[in-house]
Structure 1
């Protein structure tokens, strides 16, 4: 299968780029002793788990289906977490998870009897400090529902759980900022952590970002783990798959209304939702900052403000030309939807030997089945 034969839109995962991130993850593990569990909420494309599994220790989830997926397709440790469990959810995963982390003391009290003797019990704490570029993604934002607030904790709870989870980062590329958060947790909760077996520090630590000081992070994690006598976990998502995947699209029309817009056969609302939610423009491989030809890269959806970015090009774009939207793995394939009845992107992986492996493709029957299976008669 040749790339030129592939019909857009499609995602292309690059195995070599994925391995480069995973080798940094292994370096961090070797330095610090931390265990890493893949955050399935960010990336769940299990067709490439064979690449990831040798480097990571398991998976972590935000809902019962992710628990099942991690257990069935990844193995290793399976961590279960949800902001709000139902009793059915807990019973559904109690026998297949290694750790179950509750979001509140009330949920812990209501459901821990179901998992006792089956899984290690944990509780999410909200330390009241965080690092996030936008309030929407800030776990410590005002009136946060995520984790038990420090002033609401019943100290006796630490005698009846095995571990805790702090998730307080979002795309944190600053190792010193992370260490400051780590020190704050140690100071505020240290006497309680000393009683526990494990501590998860959540995700959002961008240790694979170019220039990140992995050695400094590793040393800080090891110091924390040794001080409190706990096994540390991180829950990387984007750190594992950043810069590994392109969303490849085709220019289907060019229109002009004050600016030229190249309309492509994809949409942020359907295929790259975080571009829209967080107002973070995509980057285009073919673009050039010095290019004299500027275009809006516009979606083919009916949403007026649905566009990928504004970009400059050395040459005028042409209908039928392919564009590569870079860094399109995180929070994309897990959020795909059928808005406007647009064609869903296929998913491929370019293996290290040059082979193109098809991981998934979709057609009209998938769209139809997602809306109804039976008609009312």
Structure 2
């Protein structure tokens, strides 16, 4: 089946592109000895987990439902983490997880007795250094609530944990920068890390970026693990699914008020939220840098500033024409919402043999049930 047979908007995941990233992940595991667990906060489309499972070691979460989803649909190792657990959360996730990571020493002390026997307990540490392009996503930003800072660490906390988690990167495409962060962690936390069995170094390490120096990354991870006698974990999300998925939309109108705007049957506010949150314009497959015809690719939502990007094309756009919004998997499908009651994109996967499988589709009843199922 061709894309033209599917009603827009829809996501199309490409298995071949996904496997390209996964092979790089496997190579990194081979040269570093690190284990990789998929960050479900970035990508939870479990319909393609059978493709991913042979290459990764499990999943990691940021909330109770993600823990259960990873356990039920991925298997292997299931890591649980949350910035703030309730007693009920800890009791629930302890049923499913192999490792449970607390964000603070107060939560560790309050709830560690609830963790089932055999589950490895960890604590998130904040190194005070990071690599992040935007303050909103910087784990070490001023007044950060994410993890325990060095000056607040109590030595007795290490009597009841097996591991630690650092997450201090966001789209770090520089292996040298990451290596420097590891050196600082070793210098500042080494006496604690030497007592542990495992250390997770979080996600945000863009090792599938073109030209990334994966050999340097692998050596840095291997040396760090040997230095402290720990099993190292990484929690990739974006690195696994980058450039694998298009959001396919249709031009439904063209208007002009100082600049031509092609209105499409989708919205960043509803279907590609990070474009709006981080003010990072999308890219369109059909666009041309040297094209003579410039358009705003605008959404059909009521939010005035809701647009995907400004793009140039070799030919004028036409109503009914389809456009492919590229790289639309990470932090996208997990944030879908019903703003304006817009049609939710269906989700498909193009298998390596060319077959297209439908993973999900949504209708009016899903919209209606989202906020109410019963009347007062």
Q: Is the Cα–Cα contact under 8 Å of residues 261 and 296 in structure 2 kept in the other structure?
A: yes
Moved over 3 A (4+): none
- The reply to whether residue 219 of structure 1 matches residue 219 of structure 2 is yes
Hey, what does 1:79 align to over in structure 2? 79
> Aligned-pair distance for 1:96?
1.1
Q: Is the Cα–Cα contact under 8 Å of residues 267 and 306 in structure 1 kept in the other structure?
A: yes
**CA distance in 1: counterparts of 2:208 and 2:86, whole angstroms:** 36
Hey, what does 1:120 align to over in structure 2? 120
> Aligned-pair distance for 1:163?
0.2
**CA distance in 1: counterparts of 2:57 and 2:211, whole angstroms:** 25
Q: How does 1:330-341 map to 2 (within 5 A)?
A: 330-341=330-341
Hey, what does 1:233 align to over in structure 2? 233
* CA-to-aligned-CA distance 1:306-354 (integer Å, 9 cap, x gap): 0000000000000000000000000000000000000000000000000
Hey, what does 1:364 align to over in structure 2? 364
Hey, what does 1:195 align to over in structure 2? 195
**CA distance in 1: counterparts of 2:86 and 2:181, whole angstroms:** 32
Q: How does 1:20-59 map to 2 (within 5 A)?
A: 20-59=20-59
Q: Is the Cα–Cα contact under 8 Å of residues 95 and 118 in structure 1 kept in the other structure?
A: no
Hey, what does 1:90 align to over in structure 2? 90
Q: Is the Cα–Cα contact under 8 Å of residues 94 and 116 in structure 2 kept in the other structure?
A: no
Q: Is the Cα–Cα contact under 8 Å of residues 8 and 248 in structure 1 kept in the other structure?
A: yes
> Aligned-pair distance for 1:191?
1.0
**CA distance in 1: counterparts of 2:67 and 2:299, whole angstroms:** 33
Hey, what does 2:130 align to over in structure 1? 130
Secondary structure of the residue aligned to 1:371 is: coil
Hey, what does 1:351 align to over in structure 2? 351
> Aligned-pair distance for 1:157?
1.3
Hey, what does 2:270 align to over in structure 1? 270
Q: How does 1:288-307 map to 2 (within 5 A)?
A: 288-307=288-307
> Aligned-pair distance for 1:156?
2.0
* CA-to-aligned-CA distance 1:280-299 (integer Å, 9 cap, x gap): 00000000010010000000
**CA distance in 2: counterparts of 1:4 and 1:94, whole angstroms:** 46
- The reply to whether residue 14 of structure 1 matches residue 25 of structure 2 is no
Q: Is the Cα–Cα contact under 8 Å of residues 32 and 218 in structure 2 kept in the other structure?
A: yes
> Aligned-pair distance for 1:117?
1.5
Gaps of 5+ in 1: none
Q: Is the Cα–Cα contact under 8 Å of residues 94 and 118 in structure 1 kept in the other structure?
A: no
TM-score (norm 1): 0.99
Hey, what does 1:162 align to over in structure 2? 162
**CA distance in 2: counterparts of 1:318 and 1:222, whole angstroms:** 54
Hey, what does 1:141 align to over in structure 2? 141
Q: How does 1:249-260 map to 2 (within 5 A)?
A: 249-260=249-260
Hey, what does 1:284 align to over in structure 2? 284
**CA distance in 1: counterparts of 2:320 and 2:336, whole angstroms:** 24
Secondary structure of the residue aligned to 1:246 is: strand
TM-score (norm 2): 0.99
Instruction: Give the CA RMSD over aligned residues.
Output: 0.6
> Aligned-pair distance for 1:116?
4.8
* CA-to-aligned-CA distance 1:52-99 (integer Å, 9 cap, x gap): 000000000000000000000000000000000000001011121000
**CA distance in 2: counterparts of 1:19 and 1:109, whole angstroms:** 42
**CA distance in 2: counterparts of 1:2 and 1:375, whole angstroms:** 42
* CA-to-aligned-CA distance 1:99-147 (integer Å, 9 cap, x gap): 0000000000000001151310000000000000000000000000000
> Aligned-pair distance for 1:25?
0.2
Q: Is the Cα–Cα contact under 8 Å of residues 292 and 313 in structure 2 kept in the other structure?
A: yes
